[in-house]
Amino acid sequence: MKLKHKIRVGFGLIFITNLLAGSLSLFYINELSEGAKVVLKNNYETLTFAREMRTVLDDNTVPLNDAAKASFDKSLVKQEHNVTEKGEDVATASLRKDFNELKSNTADLSQQQASVHAIRVDLRTIEQLNMQAIVQKHTTAQESVNKATIILGLIGCLTFLALFSFSVNISGFISDPLIALSDGLDEIGRKNYDYRLNFTKSDEFAAVSDAFNEMAAHLKKHDHDSVSEILAQKQRVEAIIEQMHDAVIILNEKREILHINTEAKNLLDLHEHRMCGKPAQQFAANNKLFQTILDTEDDLSSLKIKLDGKESVFQLENVKLYIPNIASIRPDEVNIARVPVGQIYVLRNLTEIHAI
């Protein structure tokens, strides 16, 4: 899976869990709100109507006057339109029957008092039914709250785990390949062109790995070709110098011998096989002529050297080698500074010319 798809999936899961948590929260909040509305609308109103009817009985004596009867009947009608609990309809119908007997003109005082007692029993029954309903609804609401707490807690834990896993893994998805790529570039900088990246995952970094490995292979081939060409050029130059009749000594900037041809070895009586790469002063310490050559600072000078018992005249040419200091060149300036990289000594035999 590609990295962008992993990020999309991670954020998608987080979005879904948050959406689910929000939806469930709204659902349970709405459920509790509706339950509270039902309690307030139904049970609380019924208790209010029952209290109003009881108040009429408490504030008036039997027989009830017309105003008391009208007030009681008004509350009773309201109760008849607000029957919500099981058994409440029977108690309300009984209340209507007893009230009709109370307000009957044919009922004597003892009958009216019995009707008042029956009405109080009916009101108590209605109140008990609604109080029990309130308790039951409260218990149901509390269970819903506990259930919502557990579910939302689980969703919260899942959301936290998803966020934690995503935050840990996303850094690994990105940082680990970048660290490996940085290490690979360091190895290429050290000319270790055999270094390879191995990203087995099928994401964007797999393409980076393939491109890096292809680049390393091309650099290795180019470096090999360049080295081969340099070695070939070096061998050509050494072959040309070796064929010269003049003695040639080439030193680098550290005064180490880069090349000395056979003519120079014979002239200086040096028969070491491996002189290249060694300090010139190592051989000049016990060779007066070599020391004289190394101490010469003039571009051109004459030396008299005995060869085969005869004195010969040689011209010493001292050539210092420089390269431009291109490292500090800026695009808007020209740099003419030079850096010494070595020295060439050429001993040319002029004995025959002097003899003429």
Residues 247-265 have pLDDT tens digits of 898 898 888 988 888 888 8
Q: Is there a contact between 252 and 280 (Cβ–Cβ < 8 Å)?
A: no
Of 168, 195, 222, which closes a domain?
Answer: 168
3-class SS shares of the chain: helix, strand, coil, % to 5 = 65, 15, 20
* 57, part of any domain: yes
Domain count, the chain: 2
| Separation between Cα atoms, residue 69 and residue 53, nearest integer Å | 10
Please state, rounded to an integer, the average pLDDT across all residues of the chain.
81
* 55, part of any domain: yes
| Separation between Cα atoms, residue 180 and residue 197, nearest integer Å | 7
Res 356: pLDDT:
53
Same-domain status, 134 and 46: yes
Task: Report CA-CA distances (Å) from 70 to 53, 67, 76, 100.
Answer: 11, 5, 10, 12
Res 123: pLDDT:
93
Of 115, 141, 168, which closes a domain?
Answer: 168
Of 115, 145, 168, which closes a domain?
Answer: 168
Poorest-pLDDT segment among 108-122, 158-172, 321-335 = 321-335
| Separation between Cα atoms, residue 47 and residue 265, nearest integer Å | 128
Which long-range CB contacts under 8 A does 204-209 form with residues at least 24 apart? 204/2, 204/3, 204/4, 205/3, 205/177, 205/181, 208/177, 208/181, 209/177
Same-domain status, 266 and 164: no
* 111, part of any domain: yes
Res 272: pLDDT:
72
Same-domain status, 164 and 16: yes
Q: Is there a contact between 246 and 347 (Cβ–Cβ < 8 Å)?
A: yes
Residues 174-210 have pLDDT tens digits of 777 778 888 888 888 888 888 888 776 656 677 777 8
**Cα 188 off chain centre by:** 26
Instruction: Give me the domain span that covers residue 49.
Output: 3-168
Task: Report CA-CA distances (Å) from 147 to 28, 150, 153.
Answer: 9, 5, 10
Same-domain status, 32 and 164: yes
Confidence of residue 70 (pLDDT cuts 50, 70, 90): very high
* 211, part of any domain: no
CATH number at residue 249: 3.30.450.20
Same-domain status, 150 and 280: no
* 10, part of any domain: yes
Helix (H/G/I), strand (E/B), else coil: 85: coil
Same-domain status, 153 and 288: no
Residues 80-105 have pLDDT tens digits of 998 888 899 999 999 999 999 888 87
